Amino acid sequence: MMNHMDASSLAGRTPKFVVEVLYNFFPSDKQHLTLTQYEKVKVIETHESNWWIGERANGEVGLFPANYVRRVQDITEESPRHKEKTFQKPVSYDPNKNKKTKEEQLQKRKQLASQLGLGGLDLDDLLSEDEDDVLSSEDEQEKPPQPTTLTKQSSTASLKSQPSLPSQQVTTTINPQNAAGKFVTEEAYEKKKKELQEALQKQLEDQKTKTRQAEEIQKLKEELQKAKAEVDEARKVTTPRTTPRGGATTTTASQSVVDLDKKQKELERDFEKKKKDLEKEFEKKQREADQELEKKKREMEKEIDKQAEKKQKDFIKEAEKQNSASSEMQKTIEKLKQKNTQLEEKVVTLDKSIVDMKQKHTKELKEAADKLKEQKEGSLKHAQLKIVRMKKQIQAVKLENEYLKVETQEMQKEFLASLHKISSTGLKKLMDGYKDLEEKYKKELKERRLLYNQLQDLKGNIRVNLRVRPLLPEDGQTENCIECVDDKEVKVYDKEAKKSYKFEFDSVFGIDSTQAQVFEDVKPLATSILDGYNVCIFAYGQTGSGKTFTMEGPPNNRGVNYNTLDEVFFMIKERKGEYSYEVEVAVMEIYNENLHDLLTKDKTKLEIMLSNKVSVPGLTRIKVNSSDDVRKVLSQGYENRATGSNNINAHSSRSHCIVSVFVEGVNLYTQQKLSGKLHLIDLAGSERLKRTDVKGDRLKEAQSINKSLSALGDVISALSSKKGHIPYRNSKLTSLLQDSLGGNSKMLMFVNVSPTVESCPETLCSLGFAQRARTVELGKAQKNIVSQGTASTSGSNSNN
């Protein structure tokens, strides 16, 4: 098959004949011609494979299938292939080789007649066919092959009803490679050949029989000839002896002649009879052979008709199938074209709508940006107004407070002055009034604190609460150097320096403050953890100032750690149905600048990984589902801390204990995910040790504590001066608290102080440290939003 159809390479060739295409032909490549039904194609080259090269009317040259065409016009002489259509036996034949002239045939006849000695006996009738048969019997194999053509009038009569049939099939040459229809198979050809050979064999045998008969006749003739010669001889002998003396002999001779004549006549009669018998028998056999041949011929024609009809039907079926496939294909192409047009239209529409959407989106974005700007400006103004209003309210509350103080004092005076005058009922009345007044005062204080906290939230200050522990029996005979002026102010009297100092804090809890009161200020932070904030609460102060009491608390009077986690679980319960939370707890200790896991017995040092987030690989985090779980986990941690030390009190004052709570929350409506982290830290004692007083391990411990607390101080002062670099990495403590000290977290610091005069210098140091921390403005804290979920979160982002 040709790989490339180039019109120019075939231009010089002469078209052989023209064919008409019977069915549509749609090729899948460019080498083949796309042909439609009844299209005329000039055949340039034919191939055995039945893929011919043709040229279309538009000059296009390519391959096409020869099976589905019919020849309609010759252009040059018949192609070699066309000649092949005649069935030929594969023998060479020289038509002149055995050509016998009429004269030769006549000569032969005469020769034979004279051999027979029949003289005038006419053997023409006998030899008219026999001679040819005799001749042909010798040369049968040399006979020229005759094309065997069957006229298919009978079969085509039924096929003519098919309009699409090629006309050349009306007369079909028995040829295994019939290009028009190919409906005569190789088997049919072989069968026919065999039949013809058999017929030929039969003819040959007939000829042999005839030859045998002819030989017999010849023999008879010779006998006749011999007898005739004897008769002649006898005649010659008898004729001179015809005398009266020899009358008997003559009579005998005459008798012999008569006998001989008689015999001759008998012989002639026999011969005649035998000849006639032979002729009859020959004719009979001839008839039978003819009949047989005729019968075979009819059978074969029938068979061929049958096969032709079957092949024709198959061919029509196949053609119809192809035709319907091609029309299906055309339909599909048409459909695809339509779909393509529709798609193109859709693309145009989509392009248009994208442009429209873009314009709309840009417009909306601009509007939203404007609106946001307005809102921002509005909310800033609103916050400022709120601050002013709050300040006024605080002022008013302060005035009210002052007024109440004065009123109380006056009432007290009045009460004392009129005490002896009034009756017991009057006293009760007065007491009730006083209680009522006290209630009002407490309520006012609570409201004032709430407002104050809101203000602090807005400002983002580190909140600092002061707690003064009561004097303890172990303090011995000593004086109190601290006076809590009110819930925010404290006065410290330095006996040595004979000086008093005033400090103001966010909350001041005096010697008689309860754990519940202290926790009241912490409570909102528990909610903040669930809202996705990082919270850090720590207790700072000298050894024995009440840090552990405030944070951990004795078993019967639990402090911030337990109360905060209780509150966390209380809030989780409250939010059930709206949020789903997971809480994990870890307990650690920093001792001598080494971080240890307190939830395992393993004392391996833990490392802190700092990237965007702080992480401690290998740290044990236990999932807790209730306050009871929390109690178990914390007890385990504190137990491990105690187990590792000889003197737990001494040890606890020289190490930082950290309880970390990790909260993951999902809003069940919006699927927004939040993560909050809480660090509850009981710091080591902050007292400064004189270098001369400490040696060895104590010195190392003191240096480590000093390092971490100064690092904490440095971080706080860097945050307060809003420096770009915050030195978190200077200690294990500040490294661990990096994401909870500063920018997006909430901080609460408890400053614990001892009221004893002896502790006064340390107390002043602690209060100075706390005072500085209080000035730090972190700005508004930010939520940790892990993922936004499906909420329409305009205005709810990580800055909330």
Ligand X SMILES: Nc1ncnc2c1ncn2[C@@H]1O[C@H](COP(=O)(O)OP(=O)(O)OP(=O)(O)O)[C@@H](O)[C@H]1O
Task: Compare residues 470 and 768 and give the one whose CB is closer to ligand X.
Answer: 470
> Least Å distance between CB 540 and ligand X?
9
The least CB distance from residue 684 to ligand X, in Å, is 7
The stretch near ligand X (CB under 6 A) out of 43-51, 295-303, 331-339, 469-477 is: 469-477
Q: Are 732 and 447 in contact (CB under 8 A)?
A: no
Binding-site positions for ATP read 541-548
- Category of 482 on φ-ψ map: left (φ > 0), alpha (ψ -120 to 50) or beta: beta
Complex with ligand X: residue 5 or 560, whichever CB lies closer: 560
| Tokens, residue 778 | 């972190």
Which region, judged by CB under 6 A, interacts with ligand X, from 258-266, 546-554, 567-575, 783-791? Answer: 546-554
Among residues 460 and 541, whose Cβ is nearest to ligand X? 541
Residue 623 buriedness (CB in 10 A; 0-12 / 13-18 / 19+): exposed
Binding site feature residues: 541-548
Of 169, 543, 563, 756, the residue at the interface with ligand X (CB under 6 A) is 543
Q: How far is the CB of 599 from ligand X (least distance, A)?
A: 21
Among 155, 175, 548, 782, binds ligand X (CB under 6 A): 548
Which span (528-536, 541-549, 601-609, 665-673) binds ligand X, by CB under 6 A?
A: 541-549
What's the CA gap between 140 and 204, in Å, rounded?
A: 8
Subset of 718-777 contacting ligand X (CB under 6 A): 752
Element (H, E) at 785: strand 785-787
Nearer to ligand X, 396 or 648 (CB): 648
Please, what is the minimum distance in Å from the beta carbon of residue 469 to ligand X? Answer: 3
With CB under 6 A as the contact rule, the residue among 652, 660, 675, 708 that binds ligand X is: 652
Sort strands 17-21 and 40-45 into parallel, antiparallel or unpaired: antiparallel
Q: Which of 209, 172, 205, 170 is nearest to 188 (CA)?
A: 172
Which range in 68-76, 467-475, 689-697, 761-769 contacts ligand X by CB under 6 A? 467-475
Q: Dump strand ranges (E) for 625-770.
A: 656-667, 673-682, 745-753
CB atoms within 10 A of CB 333: 11
- At 313, list the tokens: 């039907």
789: left (phi over 0), alpha (psi -120 to 50) or beta: left
Q: Distance between CA 753 and CA 469 in Å, rounded?
A: 6
Q: With respect to ligand X, which residue has the nearer C-beta, 672 or 731?
A: 731
Interacting span for ligand X (CB under 6 A) from 298-306, 349-357, 538-546, 615-623? 538-546
Contact pick of 156, 563, 640, 653 for ligand X (by CB under 6 A):
653
Identify which of residues 42 and 469 has a Cβ nearer to ligand X in the complex: 469
How many residues are listed for the chain in this entry?
800
Give me the least distance between CB of 694 and ligand X, in Å please: 16
Please state, in angstroms and rounded to a whole number, the distance separating the CA atoms of residues 53 and 79: 14
User: What is the C-alpha to C-alpha distance for residues 686 and 546, in angstroms, rounded to an integer?
Assistant: 12
Instruction: Provide the mask over 657-686, with x wherever binding to ligand X is found by CB under 6 A and - wherever it is not.
Output: ----------------------------x-
> Of 528 and 752, which has the nearer Cβ to ligand X?
752
Only one of the segments 41-49, 163-171, 545-553, 766-774 lies at the binding site for ligand X (rule: CB under 6 A); that segment is: 545-553
Residue whose entry in the numeric block shows the structure tokens 């400022």: 384
3 state SS of 353: helix
Q: Is 469 in the site for ligand X (CB under 6 A)?
A: yes
Q: How far apart are CA 732 and CA 594, in angstroms?
A: 7
- Under 8 Å between Cβ of 448 and 400: no
Would you say 488 or 641 has its CB closer to ligand X? 641
Q: Which is nearer to ligand X, 240 or 473 (CB)?
A: 473
Distance CA 521, CA 413 (A): 34
Q: Which of 378, 470, 618, 768 binds ligand X (CB under 6 A)?
A: 470
Site for ligand X in 683-702 (CB under 6 A): 685
Work out whether 547 is an interface residue with ligand X (CB under 6 A). Answer: yes
H helices then E strands: how many in the chain? Answer: 16, 23
Q: What are phi and psi of 250, to 5 degrees?
A: -60, -45
Alpha-carbon gap, residue 754 to 760, rounded angstroms: 8
Residue from 546, 637, 676, 755 binding ligand X (CB under 6 A): 546
Rounded distance, CA 549 to CA 33, Å? Answer: 100
Q: Which is nearer to ligand X, 745 or 752 (CB)?
A: 752
Least distance in angstroms from the C-beta of 505 to ligand X: 16
Name 147's Cβ contacts closer than 8 Å, sequence gap at least 6.
Answer: 86, 87, 88, 173
Inter-residue contact 301 to 150 (CB < 8 Å): yes
Q: Please give the structure tokens belonging to residue 70.
A: 């019919």
With respect to ligand X, which residue has the nearer C-beta, 547 or 732?
A: 547
Residue 514: CB minimum distance to ligand X, A? 9
The nearest distance, CB 543 to ligand X, in angstroms, is 4
Q: Check binding of 656 to ligand X (CB under 6 A).
A: no
Please choose, out of 95-103, 273-281, 544-552, 634-642, the segment that lies near ligand X by the rule CB under 6 A.
544-552
Residue 666, Cβ density class (10 Å: 0-12 exposed, 13-18 middle, ≥19 buried): middle
Give the pair of three-digit tokens for residue 265: 């006549």
How many residues bind to ligand X according to rule CB under 6 A?
15
Our CB check for ligand X shows the closer of 62 and 685 to be: 685
Using alpha carbons, select from 449, 410, 107, 119 the residue that is nearest to residue 268: 119
Out of 549, 569, 591, 638, name the contact with ligand X by CB under 6 A.
549
- DSSP letters for 553-621: --TTS--HHHHHHHHHHHHHHHTBTTEEEEEEEEEEEEETTEEEETTSS--PEE--EESSSEE-TT---
| In the complex, minimum distance from the CB of residue 519 to ligand X, in angstroms, rounded to a whole number | 13
- Nearest 5°: phi and psi at 484? -85, 110
- The distance of closest approach from Cβ of residue 538 to ligand X in the complex, given in angstroms and rounded to an integer, is 12
Q: Using CB under 6 A as the criterion, what x/- string covers residues 221-260 for binding ligand X?
A: ----------------------------------------
Strand arrangement, sheet containing 69-74: 61-65, 51-55, 40-45, 17-21, 69-74
User: Between 166 and 544, whose beta carbon lies closer to ligand X?
Assistant: 544
Supply the minimum distance, in Å, between the C-beta of residue 398 and ligand X.
27
Least Cβ distance, residue 410 to ligand X (angstroms): 33
Q: What is the DSSP code (8-state) at residue 239?
A: G
The Cα 657–Cα 651 span in angstroms is 11
Provide the minimum distance between the beta carbon of 647 and ligand X in the complex, in angstroms, as a whole number: 11
Q: Could you write out the three-class secondary structure of 134-168?
A: HHHHHHHHHCCCCCCEEECHHHHHHHCCCCCCCHH
Our CB check for ligand X shows the closer of 543 and 620 to be 543
Q: Which of 75, 472, 485, 791 binds ligand X (CB under 6 A)?
A: 472
Q: How far is the CB of 549 from ligand X (least distance, A)?
A: 3
Site string for ligand X, 582-611 (x = CB under 6 A): ------------------------------
CB of 536 to ligand X, least distance (A): 18
Task: Give the residue with the Cβ less far from ligand X, 214 or 702.
Answer: 702
Q: How far apart are CA 194 and CA 175, in angstroms?
A: 15
Residues that bind ligand X (CB under 6 A): 469-470, 472, 541, 543-549, 652-653, 685, 752
